[in-house]
Structure 1
Amino acid sequence: MTGAMHEPKTLVDIRGLTIRFPGANGGEPLVRDVDLSIRAGECVALVGESGSGKSLTARSLLGLAGPHAVIDASQFEIDGRQALRFSEHDWRSLRGTFAGLVMQDALVSLDPLRTVGAEIGEVLVHHRLARSRHERRERVHTVMQDVGIAEPEHRANQYAHELSGGLRQRALIASAIAAGPALVIADEPTTALDVTVQAQVLAVLATRLEQGVGVLLISHDLAVVAGIADRVLVMHNGEVVDSGTTASVLNNPSHPYTRQLLAAQPSAQSRGHRLSSARFVTTMTARGQAEGDTPASAPVIVREPLPPRRARSQKVVLRVDGIGKHYSRRGKDRGDTFTALQDVSFEVHEGEVLGIVGESGSGKSTCANIVLGLVEPAAGKVEFLDTRWNGQGVSERSRRDLRPRLQYIPQDPLSSFDPRHSVRQLLEEALWPKRLSGPAVLAKSVELLEQVGLNAAFLDRRPTSLSGGQRQRVAIARALAPEPALIVCDEPVSALDVYVQAQVLDLLAELQGRLHTSLLFISHDLDVVRHLSDRVLVFKDGRVVEEGEAERIFAAPEHAYTKLLMSSTPAYRRSYLDDKDRAHGPVPEREMS
């Protein structure tokens, strides 16, 4: 009896959840027969690819599945109440007080016209939880301190765009927990954040767990899940295909899809291999044989090798010499100068992949914009294909002939595509410098699509009708169209789920090796950079603090900041997958398909 009294309260208890939208998906449910329970002080993670039903399942707990959603379940209890009978008033009273929602993109989720303090205090006003402005202000400052925001009195008066990525995400968490909810629903809260900021955000969620708050975490990052979740549900095509404790699901996955997700993650041993080909196979452990026992089975990861690459050329494609960039601050710091880049120099050789890593605000994207000729440096110079690329006397007119040889793959292709244009028009625009005839343009467009794993049927599709992975493939095809010497890739896979990321990275590696194109690859994901890059630059506060061969940088970092980046990488990434690869040595070639 005593043990039952102290058992953590069940916050969510759902059985047989089915969600459908009339007229959508051919009438078939988007979520089917899902069981989900969350207790106080427990973190439950939903993982799976985009479109698997994770976010739809989570939003149904707040009555936010959509105005036309048809929800059915044999049991749907929220805070001990049958929520299928909730009115809109019931849901509104529950949001913020019982459950708080943390979205993926804080800059989009926070109101740009209101201060952070007003945003966090909104739930207190709505639910009348503060008797006066003074009390509300004090509670806002307290919750900001709780999530690790220093100087809350100052920060509360700032707007979202004035905060760093980490502070914005903390402010979003503060707005979700300001009313002291028993449940926090975090939907991809660390996607696109660098590893140090990611660690800070996860620490905030871990603190709430210690205080007895339940957490539902939606993520495609298995390393993040491994570090904080108690239980995991793996969703695929709207169904839960694998579930259990985090250790059991990640160490001994039972469903082929879960195994595919785990194997597709980049690791120290994946370099030179196709990530999307990775799979678990079972081998017999040497220990069991040596002891005379029945040989024990152990899963190891098998991958197909990428085609051999040509050796790096000594020809320099891009030379960056001592570039710097400064900006004048606005607002209360008007007149002060912010240094975005200071004395940055490097070279990119023909056929080389140069990775750039560093936290948000370290100067990575500013450097990329200078290389692309979109921003003028305050100091230094850039040479592309032995031609002065920017600086005094260099205009866009003088760059025009070489412009097609320098291409760009963005993080979010949808925002860089004209939504009115079809894929055919996007590729025709990229092929315009080649002055091809109409039939030749069509043939080349089809060839480009086939190179990136698509076909002619996609020519008449528009960007909004494509999945995230398909849009990224079109972006790569567009970048390859003018046969560039260098492609700048700025976080090209950060928003993609694990398996789509694996396919895109395989595509980049295969095309780069075959075409001998140079890549300047910018990413906050150290495992992705290690998997793909030949050399690495580490940026910190606008400077290059360490550079060298990729394997040397990752195996034996020398600078304190590089060591901090490596240590901030979730432990699952640093050890688990590498151990799986190393445990039994190379797998015989005959086992590869």
Structure 2
Amino acid sequence: MSEIFTSEASAPHVPGRTLVDVTGLSIGFDDVNGGRPLVRGVDLSIRAGECVALVGESGSGKSLTARSLIGLAGAHARIGAQRFEIDGRAALAFRERDWRQVRGGFAGLVMQDALVSLDPLRTVGREIGETLARHVKGQSRAQRTAAVHAVMRDVGIAQPERRAAQYAHELSGGLRQRALIASAIAASPALVIADEPTTALDVTVQAQVLAVLEARLRAGVGVLLISHDLAVVAGIADRVIVMHRGEVVDSGPTRDVLERPTHPYTRQLLAAQPGAQSRGYRLGSARFVEERGGVIVREPLPPRARAVGGVVLSAQGIGKRYAHGRPDANAFVALDDVSFDVREGEVLGIVGESGSGKSTSANIVLGLLAPTSGEVAFLGERWNGAGVSETQRGARRPLMRYIPQDPLSAFDPRHSVGRLLADGLHSQRLARRAVLERSVTLLEQVGLDASYLDRLPVSLSGGQRQRIAIARAIASEPALIVCDEPVSALDVYVQAQVLDLLGELQARSGTALLFISHDLDVVQHVSDRVLVLKDGRAVETGATAEVFAAPQADYTKLLLRSAPDLRVQRRAA
């Protein structure tokens, strides 16, 4: 059986051919969930040229279901099904060598984080070439190199000869994701499994990656898309399967599921989507009211503790250049003459594509990076710029806090939640018992309890870790919190909970937020004003509602056009 997929790797894609036919799928592990299945009774079929989307919250079983189709559910997974056919063959009887032929030859896998998925010690050309060497026989080295360059062109990578010689860390996020897709489709697989392929990408790069997947669909390839972004799903999927707690709760043509959801969980997912219409309201409270034609009703957030007041943070003409031994005229300009203010009780959103200067701005504001030009003032005193040291910032450091995109990498994995919160309270010099009491209060403020104090970050879910990050950030009662993509890796439901939490805390304390995000819907939901960056320069700024309703800069218009829209369908289902 080890060669059963070799010929299929190069075979033309037959329209309508059934690639996956699964009925009654169950997946479990003896030492997890008391031995009870994590996935139960799932039916899944995928045809050539069709995109099927799996959606649902984290832990719903989406990725486990998808990985079972390529033999990667886990070494000790117990898989059962009434029917489990991959390209018409009974896959429950496959041995490992059979699955190795499936992976890359019949099905290509595209993961969320290309930087982690691509080998850091090999060029992307060698990475793509390995797929060809394994699944396409009889090629010479020159033919394989030409094929690598060809597939890189197919996914929209310009100058493939130069890019093939580069390593993953030398490429932008968009180029890395394209290289990962090129590796997945190099052997012309009939099926592409894309697991959150656009989650961490800005809207313009996201649109480019989705265009690559759409091109594969037009070529007759089947696509299984796993995503928590319902707008992305609306734009590309033919059918949607909604999973909740290991079971399918809703399924059908995309338009039917997203416009006429039948299950309360699907309705909740749709209602929890942020946007201009949800501003000032709790996303987690949203619900469909059938008696009113399916209208979404939300509860308002509490009124803000105080109106927008004086300036908390002022960045004037900040810039950052990297010469690396080159003449100044040839220096790389990461940020160029950018100015903005953040006032008491205000939320300033910063948007822009990868490389626009968002993170550089955040690092300069945080005092982690010294600007080449310009300066930052915090609470009326110089904070960063020429001649300002960390020693001078020290006393005010607790008044500026940070919420990262990935708390798991930001937290010390050896420290318990209690230790992490105690570190956040260090500046208050409290007695041990007072630290414990205050830590419990902080946990309660973010919807957790004292039982979490002894837990390690790795034992928490993504949403729980983000709540701990927020609790630690507010521990010192800061005047400003810098939020760098704080919800980009979270599913819709958990994202709604975290955004509600930030809204409640911000309303209660009046803490100012500098909110960086590539998700324009999230920015519309949370921010009072927005700053748009491109290539290190500010191209537009103003009240959020005005900028989104009537953008002036061409680049802002491009961002808004590129953003996926839940109301748009790629084609009639």
Alignment TM-score, normalising by the size of structure 2: 0.95
Residue 524 of structure 2, aligned match among 509, 514, 530: 530
Q: For residue 46 of structure 1, what is the aligned residue in structure 2?
A: 54
Q: Measure the CA separation in 2 of the matches of 1:508 and 1:330.
A: 43
Q: For residue 294 of structure 1, what is the aligned residue in structure 2?
A: none
The answer to whether residue 541 in structure 2 is matched with residue 542 in structure 1 is no
Residue 186 of structure 1, aligned match among 164, 183, 194: 194
The 5 Å alignment of 1:487-566 reads 487-566=481-560
Identity of aligned residues (%): 72
The answer to whether residue 432 in structure 2 is matched with residue 424 in structure 1 is no
Residue 319 of structure 2, aligned match among 324, 335, 357: 324
Contact 1:410–1:490 (Cα < 8 Å) also in 2: yes
Q: For residue 93 of structure 1, what is the aligned residue in structure 2?
A: 101
The 5 Å alignment of 1:161-310 reads 161-284=169-292, 298-310=293-305
Q: Measure the CA separation in 1 of the matches of 2:322 and 2:355.
A: 13
Q: For residue 479 of structure 2, what is the aligned residue in structure 1?
A: 485
Q: For residue 27 of structure 1, what is the aligned residue in structure 2?
A: 35
SS in 2 for 1:551: helix
**Shift of residue 125, structure 1, vs aligned partner:** 1.3
Residue 110 of structure 1, aligned match among 76, 99, 118: 118
**Shift of residue 49, structure 1, vs aligned partner:** 0.5
Contact 2:375–2:386 (Cα < 8 Å) also in 1: no
Q: For residue 435 of structure 2, what is the aligned residue in structure 1?
A: 441
Contact 1:47–1:54 (Cα < 8 Å) also in 2: yes
Tell me which amino acid in the other structure corresponds to 2:135.
Answer: H
RMSD between superposed Cα atoms in Å: 1.7
Deviation per residue, 1:316-367 (Å, 9 max, x gap)? 1101010100113699x99942100000001111111000000011000000
Q: Measure the CA separation in 2 of the matches of 1:50 and 1:574.
A: 25
Contact 1:329–1:336 (Cα < 8 Å) also in 2: no
Residues 1:334 and 1:85: Cα distance change in structure 2 (over 3 Å) = farther
Gaps of at least 5 residues in structure 2 are 1-13
Q: For residue 375 of structure 1, what is the aligned residue in structure 2?
A: 369
Deviation per residue, 1:511-553 (Å, 9 max, x gap)? 0011000000000000000000000000000011000001001
Tell me which amino acid in the other structure corresponds to 1:91.
Answer: W
The 5 Å alignment of 1:442-457 reads 442-457=436-451
Tell me which amino acid in the other structure corresponds to 1:299.
Answer: G
Q: Measure the CA separation in 2 of the matches of 1:134 and 1:312.
A: 67
Deviation per residue, 1:5-35 (Å, 9 max, x gap)? x861100000111001111111110110111
Q: Measure the CA separation in 2 of the matches of 1:348 and 1:318.
A: 5
**Shift of residue 311, structure 1, vs aligned partner:** 5.0
Residues 1:97 and 1:574: Cα distance change in structure 2 (over 3 Å) = closer
Contact 1:97–1:179 (Cα < 8 Å) also in 2: yes
Contact 2:274–2:521 (Cα < 8 Å) also in 1: yes
Contact 1:124–1:130 (Cα < 8 Å) also in 2: no
Aligned pairs, how many?
557
Q: For residue 388 of structure 2, what is the aligned residue in structure 1?
A: 394
Contact 1:312–1:349 (Cα < 8 Å) also in 2: no
Tell me which amino acid in the other structure corresponds to 1:359.
Answer: E
Residues 1:335 and 1:142: Cα distance change in structure 2 (over 3 Å) = farther
Q: Measure the CA separation in 2 of the matches of 1:341 and 1:201.
A: 26
Residues 1:317 and 1:209: Cα distance change in structure 2 (over 3 Å) = same
Q: For residue 333 of structure 2, what is the aligned residue in structure 1?
A: 339
Q: For residue 293 of structure 1, what is the aligned residue in structure 2?
A: none
Contact 1:317–1:384 (Cα < 8 Å) also in 2: yes
Residues 1:475 and 1:243: Cα distance change in structure 2 (over 3 Å) = same
Q: Measure the CA separation in 2 of the matches of 1:398 and 1:190.
A: 41
Q: For residue 25 of structure 2, what is the aligned residue in structure 1?
A: 17
Q: For residue 586 of structure 1, what is the aligned residue in structure 2?
A: none
Q: Measure the CA separation in 1 of the matches of 2:238 and 2:324.
A: 44
Deviation per residue, 1:469-521 (Å, 9 max, x gap)? 01000000000001100000000000000000000000001100110000000
Q: For residue 10 of structure 2, what is the aligned residue in structure 1?
A: none
Residues 1:53 and 1:334: Cα distance change in structure 2 (over 3 Å) = farther
Tell me which amino acid in the other structure corresponds to 2:126.
Answer: A
The 5 Å alignment of 1:554-593 reads 554-572=548-566
Residues 1:330 and 1:301: Cα distance change in structure 2 (over 3 Å) = farther
Contact 2:321–2:372 (Cα < 8 Å) also in 1: yes
Q: Measure the CA separation in 1 of the matches of 2:518 and 2:415.
A: 31
Which shows bigger deviation, 567-576 or 254-263? 567-576
Q: Measure the CA separation in 2 of the matches of 1:141 and 1:24.
A: 44
Residue 308 of structure 2, aligned match among 299, 305, 313: 313
Q: Measure the CA separation in 2 of the matches of 1:314 and 1:18.
A: 56
Contact 1:121–1:137 (Cα < 8 Å) also in 2: yes
Tell me which amino acid in the other structure corresponds to 1:316.
Answer: V
Contact 2:26–2:40 (Cα < 8 Å) also in 1: yes
Q: Measure the CA separation in 2 of the matches of 1:37 and 1:329.
A: 53
Tell me which amino acid in the other structure corresponds to 1:492.
Answer: P
**Shift of residue 556, structure 1, vs aligned partner:** 0.7
Deviation per residue, 1:85-135 (Å, 9 max, x gap)? 001111111211110000000011011111111111111112353521100
Q: For residue 355 of structure 1, what is the aligned residue in structure 2?
A: 349
Deviation per residue, 1:375-394 (Å, 9 max, x gap)? 00000000111111122321
